[in-house]
């Protein structure tokens, strides 16, 4: 074995990192370009909302099944297959735009297929990391993977903005589709280490129940998922739905909002690098601490502080988000039994994804009654309280339990 083969990234991490970087950039392009393409086809706001929401529906329906498939099948093949399906779905969407098809249902169908493929991809991507990276290097690998994801948040919108400014929306959608083909090519270079984890082929629903049973033995993770779900129900929708409105009302408009979003992304990049150096025997406190800071983001935005101060707090929130994400992924990959890792991850992904549409509705309704700023304070306060309670429960549990699973 050569010295190079002993390096932590030699087991396939470079291929996985490259795939996630390319597909993340493409994903953020389509998020920006697709609504403008639909507007050009004279779709109504309601129809555009249906098309954009169809992706989340496909994802939510499939992600739990995706976890089961990832635990019983070759994860490398699942990742490649998911990328190819997403390439096909976005290529079909591009074709619809090129021929000026004005049938919303067909756009929705393409996005449902895209979301379903993503529902298979994400549990597999999360659970394959321990297969390609040594356990001692998980924080470093997850930190760089988070950096790749955050890079997409910065680079993707820039390319999308150029496509819109040059009236070349089709080019933006084409780049998005091709990104998944390139990602699949990168993933094909992964070593064949992702094997079937279970020999017994039981029903999918039985394996889902087994995944839930494993999660219940991981009390620390159950606590974290509960707090994270509350965050995705309250604070995060407040930022997505009410943040732009608040920026338009009080912070100086869309240009300032763009700066604040960019600063948050830069914080995420920096946080991903910082998180590569974190290794703790009590990750639950790092996770909840990071989540607590991010949960304060609506308060930062509605604080009335000068823009420079808000931008600084936005940067810190981006750092905290990356640390929260990296430490949770690493702890999950290290402590959850390998054979059930994808199923447990899929429960987390489903819970947080299902909470967000509800949060979107609640934030809008609350803002109509209490106003934008007050609603952001209220929703952030609920998320912060959830983090504090989760931390208190975790402390109480750690004192009363001698389990080696307690973190």
More confident residue, 134 or 101: 101
Q: Which helix (H) or strand (E) holds 286?
A: helix 283-295
More confident residue, 111 or 218: 111
- Residue at token pair 């954009």: 52
pLDDT average, residue stretch 77-102: 91
pLDDT at 93 over 90: yes
Q: Which of the residue ranges 35-49, 149-163, 194-208, 305-319 has the most confident prediction, judged by mean pLDDT?
A: 305-319
Q: Flag whether 139 is in a domain.
A: yes
For residues 301 and 168, give the distance between their C-alpha atoms in angstroms, rounded to a whole number. Answer: 33
For residues 326 and 276, give the distance between their C-alpha atoms in angstroms, rounded to a whole number. Answer: 8
> Which pLDDT value is given to residue 394?
80
Tell me the residue range of the domain where 144 lies.
8-190
pLDDT at 113 over 90: yes
Least confident segment among 44-48, 156-160, 293-297, 302-306: 44-48
pLDDT average, residue stretch 145-173: 78
pLDDT at 187 over 90: no
User: Last residue of some domain: 190, 218, 238?
Assistant: 190
232-269 pLDDT per residue, tens: 888 888 887 777 778 777 887 666 776 787 788 888 87
> Which pLDDT value is given to residue 30?
78
User: Last residue of some domain: 147, 165, 190?
Assistant: 190
CA distances from 404 to 87, 219, 220, 282 (A): 43, 11, 11, 12
pLDDT average, residue stretch 291-308: 91
More confident residue, 142 or 308: 308
Contact indicator for 137, 8 with CB cutoff of 8 Å: yes
Phi then psi for residue 2, to 5 deg, are -75, 165
**pTM, to two decimals:** 0.73
Q: Answer yes or no: do 24 and 62 share one domain.
A: yes
Confidence bin at 114 (pLDDT 50/70/90)? very high
pLDDT at 117 over 50: yes
Q: Flag whether 164 is in a domain.
A: yes
pLDDT at 109 over 90: yes
Q: Answer yes or no: do 181 and 243 share one domain.
A: no
> Which pLDDT value is given to residue 4?
44
35-82 pLDDT per residue, tens: 778 878 888 766 776 787 778 788 888 887 777 777 777 888 888 899
> Which pLDDT value is given to residue 406?
47
Q: Answer yes or no: do 181 and 240 share one domain.
A: no
Name the residue among 317, 302, 285, 292 with its Cα closest to residue 376.
302
For residue 335, the domain's CATH number is 1.20.1250.20
> Which pLDDT value is given to residue 405?
45
Q: Answer yes or no: do 176 and 273 share one domain.
A: no
More confident residue, 124 or 308: 308
Name the residue among 81, 71, 78, 65 with its Cα closest to residue 201.
71
pLDDT average, residue stretch 324-346: 77
> Which pLDDT value is given to residue 294?
92
267-283 pLDDT per residue, tens: 887 887 777 776 666 78
For residues 313 and 205, give the distance between their C-alpha atoms in angstroms, rounded to a whole number. Answer: 44
Contact indicator for 357, 56 with CB cutoff of 8 Å: yes
pLDDT at 150 over 80: no
Q: Flag whether 298 is in a domain.
A: yes
Q: Which of the residue ranges 100-104, 203-207, 210-214, 331-335 has the most confident prediction, judged by mean pLDDT?
A: 100-104
Mean residue pLDDT of the chain comes to 80
Q: Answer yes or no: do 171 and 205 share one domain.
A: no
Q: Flag whether 335 is in a domain.
A: yes
DSSP state for residue 339 in the 8-state scheme: G
Number of domains observed in the structure of the chain: 2
Least confident segment among 161-165, 196-200, 345-349, 354-358: 196-200
Q: Answer yes or no: do 59 and 182 share one domain.
A: yes
pLDDT at 388 over 80: yes
pLDDT average, residue stretch 142-149: 75
- Residue at token pair 């987390």: 348
């Amino acid at each position: 074995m050569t010295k190079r083969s002993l390096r932590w990234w030699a087991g396939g991490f470079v291929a996985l990192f490259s795939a996630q970087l390319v597909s993340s950039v493409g994903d953020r392009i389509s998020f920006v370009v697709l609504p403008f393409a639909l507007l050009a086809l004279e779709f109504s706001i309601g129809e555009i909302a249906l098309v954009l929401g169809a992706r989340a529906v496909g994802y939510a329906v499939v992600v739990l099944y995706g976890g089961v498939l990832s635990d019983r099948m070759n994860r490398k093949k699942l990742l490649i297959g998911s990328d190819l399906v997403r390439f096909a779905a976005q290529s079909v969407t591009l074709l619809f735009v090129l021929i000026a098809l004005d049938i919303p249902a067909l756009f929705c169908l393409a996005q449902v297929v895209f979301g379903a493929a993503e529902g298979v991809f994400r549990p597999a991507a999360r659970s394959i990391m321990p297969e390609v990276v040594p356990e001692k290097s998980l924080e470093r690998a997850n930190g760089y993977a988070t950096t790749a994801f955050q890079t997409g948040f910065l680079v993707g919108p820039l390319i999308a903005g150029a496509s819109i400014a040059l009236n070349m929306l089709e080019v933006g959608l084409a780049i998005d589709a091709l990104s998944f083909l390139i990602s699949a090519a990168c993933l094909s270079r992964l070593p064949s280490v992702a094997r079937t984890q279970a020999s017994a082929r039981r029903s999918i629903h039985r394996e889902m129940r087994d995944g839930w049973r494993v999660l219940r033995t991981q009390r620390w993770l159950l606590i974290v998922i509960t707090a994270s779900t509350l965050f995705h129900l309250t604070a995060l929708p407040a930022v997505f739905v009410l943040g732009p409105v608040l920026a338009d009302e009080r912070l100086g408009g869309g240009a300032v909002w763009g700066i604040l979003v960019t600063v948050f992304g830069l914080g995420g990049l920096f946080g991903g690098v910082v998180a590569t150096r974190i290794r703790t025997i009590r990750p639950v406190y790092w996770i909840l601490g990071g989540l607590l800071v991010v949960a304060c983001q609506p308060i930062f935005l509605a604080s009335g502080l000068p823009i420079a101060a808000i931008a600084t707090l936005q940067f810190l929130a981006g750092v905290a988000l990356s640390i929260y994400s990296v430490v949770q992924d690493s702890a999950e990959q290290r402590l959850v039994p390998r054979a059930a890792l994808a199923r447990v991850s899929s429960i987390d992904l489903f819970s947080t994804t299902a909470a967000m549409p509800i949060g979107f509705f609640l934030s809008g309704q609350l803002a109509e009654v209490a106003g934008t700023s007050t609603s952001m304070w209220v929703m952030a306060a609920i998320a912060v309280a959830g983090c504090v309670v989760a931390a208190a429960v975790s402390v109480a549990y750690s004192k009363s339990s001698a389990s080696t699973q307690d973190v």
